[in-house]
Every structure is written in structure tokens, then in C-alpha cells.
Structure 1
């Protein structure tokens, strides 16, 4: 039925939609011929809105997962978007259609940096990273892709950053004056009131990707700044979030590219293919097996890249959020897609952390100190700041996967890495309520010891 091929869970009453991701059946006329595809789109728009509310749909590009990005010439509200998608799905060539939703960094800003990183220590709420480092396996030779706002040059990061790619296709959202390009530098993601959607608040630049990258692989042992979980690894900075967040289509392409897949018009990642992808981002709406996000994640895992995502910060079940609710390959409980909840220094559930059966494990996520930039809009000086959020928990786990892979044996498969991490944990300080919040809090020491 056509209704089964439409995803409406990501639609919002607050944010209009002007793009759609349409996947056509392999071998179908719409898949093979753009003219046939366009005629079908024209018919769908005409049937849905007629002449009184005339709408033009245009094929924008083919995504790395093989789906098509279709752009409308005006924003549509929730009802209009649903009406249009249901009409598009009446074409029997359509396998699946969903809105090109926006996703956002999952952080809650906290205090400025002082000097404490409990998350890497062996206290009750720490990850025991300090004990794991004593094994000598500290991430050397491994690459963690951080799909985020990009990066700022920082004295405590520069030696471990690989400039990846800027996948933001919209010049409005990119904030850097152009669309996709080869620079993953973060120009700032500030916005003015009402700029993102009607009633949206003004916001300063977050430098979110720089903070996340520091947790993964800040330069360590240099008598300055902060430490990183896998401080001998490299971070492949990939820019997908700009002003007002980032789109599903751009993020799906970035997942494909970072894991070694092909994306039209973008040079291959080559030797910088990531062994791990970190996504400290999320948006509303359930992620189904047919969703573009899930298809991209499955492709990455199939190419041997473990995918780590933040559970989200709404103190709600992850079943209603993307990518945290994505089922991953086969919808299996353990398949190489690791969803991470947040705990505090007392090993208790962070008040904001999402929860539910799809959360695999937890990691420190309250008052996490890391690298940042002092600019409120455009870039300023290097600094260090405490942030809280599952955005901060996820890179602890991504860094841990890099530590595991830096052992001399053949890299574990994504599913094997997830299995070892979930089996080697520290207990919660109290039963998470509401929960569950995964099998426990990551224990880098025992995880590394259990890795062949």
C-alpha cells in the first residue's frame, strides 16, 4: 500500500519542510529515467495542490545511498508535506518517501572550563580510560569521523585533526558563503531570532564539533588543556551541521563518504576512511528500516565502520528520535550501531538523557570539559568549556572503539566491538529512572583487556 511507503514521523508543527527523499525501486522507469521521474513529481504536485497553490518539485541530486533528493519551490507545513508525500507514493515505482528533516547537535551548555575530567578517570562515574591507557593501546593508526559542525584550529587539537569535507549543501545554512566544499572548518553556527523557523530563538555559535573532537582525541601529555579518549588516533572532521542544524540528506551522504562509500561530486575519502563514525546529533521522528538514515548507517557498517550515536537530550524514549531509534542492520540488538546514553560523576542517569530499549550503553555526559572556541558568533580564541549532553557521552564510546582497534590484531567487526563494549561495563550508581539506559557505563580498561 502507498501509505506504507510514507514516513511522517519526522514532520513538525514548528518547522516547515521544503525537501523530500524519495527512493525508487531498482530497475523501475522512474529510477532509470529522470524525465519519467519528473513527470511523476509534476503530477503529484498538481494533484496535491492544483493551480490555486501551485507547487514545483525539482530533482536536486542523487544521494550516496541511491535515493533522490527532491526540492520544493516553497516551504510546506506539516499537513501540506504529508499530503504531498502520500501523493508521491501513489507512483508504484516509489519504494519509500520521507521529509528531508533537520537534525541538531545534542548538547546542553554548562560551566566554563576549570580543570576536571572525571569522565576519563577511574572514579565511580568515570570510564577508567586512565587505566586503559596504561596498556599502551591509545588509538594509534585509527580514524574517528566526527560528523558535526566541523572544527576550529585549536592548540590542543591541531596535531590530531584531518580536514574532511563540508557536506552542507545550502548556502543559507552553511554560514560560510558557499555550499559543499573541501573545508570542514567551522565558521560558527549562530542564528538570529526567527531565522531558523517562526519563533526560533537567537543562538550563539556552539563550536560543538570542536568540543566533540576534543573528547575523542585531544592532544594529551602536552602539559596543557585537556586529554582525549583515544589521543593517538586522528579525528576526520566532517561538517554536516551549520546554522539551524543539518539535513537528513546531507548527513546520509556524509555517513556514506566517511565510511568509504561513493558520493557523486565529492572526492573519495581514500586512506582517511574512518573505522568509527560519531554522530552527536539528533532530531524528532522515528527512524525505520527504510529511512535514508538507516540505509546510510547500514552501508557504513557493511563497509566495516562502527557507528556511534547520541541517545538525545529530551528525557524521553529514543523510539521517537533519529538516528537513535534506527534499527541498524537486520534490526538486531547488537549489530554495530551503538546508541549512547548519559550519566554523571556519581554514575547516575543524567536528568536529560533519553532512554529506552534501543540504548546500548552509557558514558559520562555531565559537565564534560573539552576544547572550544571563545567566539560568540565568528571564531575567537582557543578555550576550554564544560558541556553536558549525550553529545558528550557518544565520543567517549567512539574513542573507546578506536582504542580497541589499535591493538595489533585484526580490527573487530562493528558488531563484535559493540558486543565487547556492552559486556564490559561499570554499574550504575542507581537504577536509571526512567530507563533502561543500556547495559551499564563503559569501562575502557576491561573492554580493552577483553579485546583480542
Structure 2
């Protein structure tokens, strides 16, 4: 029996009006006041040039190191609240030779991306992936990520990071490009009419799903335009496998092989083998042998395979290829850190990542539609065929998986790791979900800053 798979996606046809990202820099006093309010945990003590000693006779601190400028970094011996922080700073100022005591503030990367402040999934403390701290050292440079999906659309916030890909859809009707497999991964649209694709009751617009996934991973950052990609210096190889009504197992399996640098009969070699594969797709069933062989081959070539768990609110064990061996299976969380209502779950989940959740009155009585709680990324504005570039919020495990793929790109840009080492590091450096997931969400919510610091 032929199997067809649709993208693991719940789309939302709502865009959010953009607004400028506030500058993170403030006055020194404002930073100090914020530090006192938070109970800061490290200080820079500066001595007068004439000071004969740079020692501190204070039992409440330990010296961390001396800066080349002659200042000394000190750390309180215990956690301090607002009052304790203010008192300690005043005590240190009274020490012999001290001319200033300043909080050793933590700086984060500023972004010139005009809609970055809408990307809660990257930076919010409750349920974001904690990306800004990772960006102080990691950007994914030198790493290629294959997005095995609906293909790609032209987009000014993405084009600079897109390498040549391939169209693996073997059926010309599904491909909508007049032929079978070819070297053009352009997304021709996956729209369909009512009654098509298994007798669907309602028509469906084109999703531009692959471009949304790709933007999460590698949208161009710092370009005064749109969003920030998680691994903004990585490159995307778009691999088209999903067209009208989905895609075939055989095409997807070949795409996995080709994208990871393996040979596929009748297809030119991939000039840019990927070290990370993102598959935001799936369907019900056991792991097909064709999938497992392709995945095992990719892993043997050193490629990490990241797969969306699926959106059926069911145990992932019944959904493939997320239930295959040697993959990183990803569940989705909402903005409050709960398992998203649609996300699959269970013992085969490896980690959870932000997938967004936008509920309306039919989903949960008493709630309101909140498009800002979805995941914002790059798409096209066309309802069927391509028109102008756009951004929209989607929700789904399809959106969660590229957060993990982007983090893997950051990791591999810093250090060569095997797929097994990647998976182990992802799991070891999560943090607990802030909300509820009683059914099994893997090791926890991915934390980019912690992961990069500990690889």
C-alpha cells in the first residue's frame, strides 16, 4: 500500500504587525539599579591608581580574577536580594583604595531584525529556548542544514543562506512542476480543493511550510529586516518531498540519503552534504524499513536527524518517522511551558522545543485567539501560487523541530560532534518545562545557552 504523509503542521492564517526591537543598552545607573533589584551575583571593583594594594578585607566576597585594567572581579559568598546587594556594594566602596563598585552585568546580543521582539520562542524566560546567551559565541557558521519539506520560496530574509537543493517528488501531479524529480526545489504550492487528497471536506491553501521551517533555523540576522534565525550563519539545503496531498515514503527516504551525502541512483551528488536534517513531516504507522535504512545511513555519515513528533495529541510510538531509531524526536510546548495541546508525546520523545499554541473558542471555551503565541517565520503571501514574501505565525511540532535543528547547527559550529554526542548533549542540558506534560516530553525543554556552554 502506498503511504502518503502530510506536513506535521497546524497553520494559522494570521500575521502580527511588526514593531522595532528596543535597544538593550541603557545608562550605567539604570543597569546598576536593575542589578540591585535582581540581587546581582558578581561585581567589578576598581581601585585608585595610587592604591598600594588591590586586596579586599571583606569576608562576604571571594576574588574571581584581576582584569588587565587592574580592576578586580569579586563574587558574593551567598545569594543576595535587593537589600543585601545594595549593602554589599556600599561596604565595598568603603574599602581602602576603592573608587568604584559596579555590577558585572550580563550583556546579550542586540538584534537589528525588525520583528525579533515577536520571537518569544527564542528569548522568553518561561518557555523560550534561551538562544541569546548562546549567540555570544555560536552562530552556526560552516554548518549545513537540510530542510526536507515542501521546498523553498524566494525571501529576502532567507535567500542569503540558501544553497542549491533538489526536488525529490517523483509524481508530476503532486509536484505541480510538470515533471518528476529535478534540481529545482522551488515550492510550487501544496494547496488542494475540497474532495481532493483523500476526500478532504474543506479546501486548503498552500502552506509554504518548508520556508517557515527554514526561516526558524537560518533566517538572515542583523539585516534590519524581519526575524532572526537561530543559527544565522548556517546554510540551508532545501529538499522538496512534500507537494499536493503530501509525499511518499520512497521519496522521503531517498531525500534523507541524498541530503546527508549518500548516493541516490539517477540523482547528481549533493555538493553540500548536511550535518543536520530537519524533517517536519510524518504520518501514522510503524517505522518503515526504508526510513530506518536511510536514517542509519545518514547517521553513519555523521548527520544528526531531527524529526517532528506529530500533531495528533497521541503517543509518538504510532507515528513515523519520529518513531524510528537514531533520530531526535521533538515534542512541542506552548508559550507557558506546557505540552502544546496538539503535540504527540511518550517515551520515544527525546526533547521538547517551542512549537506555539494559538487556541480559539472552539479549541478551549473561554480563551481568546492569540496569534502572538505562535512561531513567527518566513513564508509567501500567496494562497495557492507564490506572490510576495511574508511572515506568519504557525504552530505545530513542525515548528518545534527546527528550533532543535538550529541549536544542533550552533553546536556543530562550535565543536565536531557525532550524532550520538549531539543527542546526549541536547538531553543533558535541558531545563524542566515550566508547565505540565504528564504524558512524556523527553528530557525537557531545550536550552541553547546551557547547551553551548557545556559541549
Which stretches of structure 1, 4 residues or more, deviate above 4 A after TM superposition? none
Write out per-residue CA displacement over residues 334-362 of structure 1, whole angstroms, 9 at most, x where no aligned residue. xxx10000001111110100000000000
Candidates 415, 418, 438, aligned match of 2:442: 438
CA distance in 2, matches of 1:238, 1:119: 25
Where do 1:400-439 residues align within 5 Å?
A: 400-407=407-414, 409=415, 411-433=416-438, 435-439=439-443
The alpha-carbon distance between structure 1 residues 130 and 326, as it changes in their structure 2 partners (threshold 3 A), is same
Contact 1:122 1:129 in 2 (8 A): no
Other-structure match for 1:450: 454
Residue equivalent to 1:124: 126
1:196-207 map, 5 Å: 196-199=197-200, 201-207=202-208
Question: How many Å separate the matches in 1 of 2:200 and 2:419?
Answer: 42
Q: 2:63 corresponds to which residue?
A: none
Query: What TM-score, normalized to structure 1?
Result: 0.73
Match of 1:284 in 2: 284
* Residues 1:249 and 2:282 are matched in the alignment: no
RMSD: 1.1
Match of residue 296 from structure 1: 294
CA contact (8 A) 1:163 1:238 kept: no
Please give the secondary structure, in 2, of the residue aligned with 1:237: strand
Cα distance in 2, alignment partners of residues 224 and 113 from structure 1: 15
1:419 is paired with a residue whose SS is: helix
From 386, 408, 413, the equivalent of 1:379 is 386
Q: Is the 8 A contact 1:122 1:131 kept in 2?
A: no
On the 8 A contact 2:337/2:436 being kept in 1, the answer is: no
Moved more, 318-327 or 251-260: 318-327
Aligned residue for 1:161?
A: 162
**SS at structure 2 position matched to 1:286:** coil
Distance 1:163 1:153 in 2: 13
Deviations along 1:368-388, one digit per CA (max 9) or x if unpaired, are 000010000010100100000
Instruction: Confirm whether residue 238 of structure 1 aligns to residue 239 of structure 2.
Output: yes
Structure 2 length-normalised TM: 0.73
Partner of residue 343 from structure 2, selected from 329, 350, 353: 353
Alignment match of 2:16 (pick from 113, 125, 128): 113
Aligned length: 338
Cα offset, 1:201, TM superposition = 3.2
Gapped regions of structure 2 (runs ≥ 5): 18-114, 357-373
Q: CA offsets, 1:317-340, max 9 Å, x none?
A: 001111111123xxxxxxxx1000
CA shift at 1:200, angstroms? 5.1
SS at match of 1:441: coil
Contact conserved, 1:122 with 1:130, CA < 8 A, in 2?
no
Distance 2:194 2:423 in 1: 41
Residues 344 and 174 of structure 1, relative CA distance in 2, 3 Å threshold: same
Displacement of 1:314 in angstroms is 0.5
- Post-superposition shift, 1:122? 4.0
Offset of residue 230 of structure 1: 0.4
> Displacement of 1:195 after TM fit?
2.2
Taking the aligned partners of 2:435 and 2:223, their CA distance within structure 1 comes to 36
- Tell me, in whole angstroms, the C-alpha distance in 2 between the residues paired with 1:162 and 1:200: 38
Q: Deviations over 1:159-179 (max 9, x none)?
A: 001120000000010011111
- Determine the structure 1 residue equivalent to 2:325: 327
1:175–1:113 distance in 2 versus 1, CA, 3 Å: farther
Deviations 1:79-114 (A, max 9, x none): xxxxxxxxxxxxxxxxxxxx4311111111123133
